[in-house]
Structure 1
Amino acid sequence: MSGTDGLTGMANVMGNLNFALFSWLNAPERPAPAMLHLATFCAESLIWAVSVGIGLAWLRGGESVRRTMQAAALAGLAGLSANLLIGLAWPGRIRGRS
């Protein structure tokens, strides 16, 4: 078996995993109102729970935990900054929002 066979097999496994996860997360065209509200809450509000968790861990943790939480906060800031820059570079209206 050559090295490329292993890579092809891994690509097939990852493709199957990707399809399974997408199928599991895929929502119907017209979801129930309760499910829609739950999904909206999770998408828009849970980022604050992560931020509060990082802050609490930083306040209560030792030096090692503080360094880890600082790195997590910086990584989150970098991700949000990239998101903002991409949104500014490609402005467009998101469906359902003005």
Structure 2
Amino acid sequence: MERGGCVYIMTNVFNTVLYVGVTSDLYARINDHKSKRYPKSFTTKYNCNKLVYYCFYSTIIEAIAEEKKIKKWKRTWKNNLIAKQNPNWIDLYSEDL
């Protein structure tokens, strides 16, 4: 049985930097970002520790394809995607995942 996947977007406290990622375990992956588990990573370097968007997919293949698509989008399109789900850009990690 194939495991599902999740596309997510992290930002910094000022919402000036966006990081688009994919994972099969959102809770664990966000914990990695928030704890700065990988000191040389993009999210650590730019302090992207606020989860502002996520979307689950039935397969990891679908999630990876969507992540690649979103990464190519203009910043305005990404902002609109986030605003549809999270108009105030609050940290969604504090809510139930």
TM range (shorter): under 0.3
Q: Which has the higher contact order (CA 8 A, sep 6+)?
A: 2
TM-score w.r.t. length of structure 2: 0.24
Q: Considering only CA atoms, is the larger Rg found in Structure 1 or Structure 2?
A: 1
TM-score w.r.t. length of structure 1: 0.24
Higher normalized helix content (fraction of residues): 1
